[in-house]
Amino acid sequence: MLAKIAEMPKSDRIMAERLHKIVKATAPDLAPRTWYGMPAYAKDGKVVCFFQSADKFKARYATLGFSDRANLDDGAMWPTAFALKKLSPTEEKRIVALVKKAVS
């Protein structure tokens, strides 16, 4: 999985590397893996969250997404993907909270 991150353009690579550190520090039980060619993190072999490179999908932003295995349910509707343009301490705190809730 880290090899896939290394192949990314610099802006996506920096975000993916930082996101990897955040996820591993927040939920060390999640196993890094590749999912559809992108970095992902799994619990019991099932993907919980993943990163999508802006460059690979020709998008204006990268994405942090959560699968249906993530425990993010909130009523009848909730977000499962978040656009990432940068990772400042504000975004990092929000990601930590999301990952904690996803694996709870």
Mean pLDDT by 10 residues, the chain (104 residues): 90 96 98 96 97 95 98 95 96 98 97
Q: What pLDDT does residue 38 have? A: 95
Residue 96, H or E segment: helix 89-103
pTM of the model: 0.94
Q: How far apart are CA 1 and CA 51, in angstroms?
A: 11
CATH class label, 2-103: alpha beta
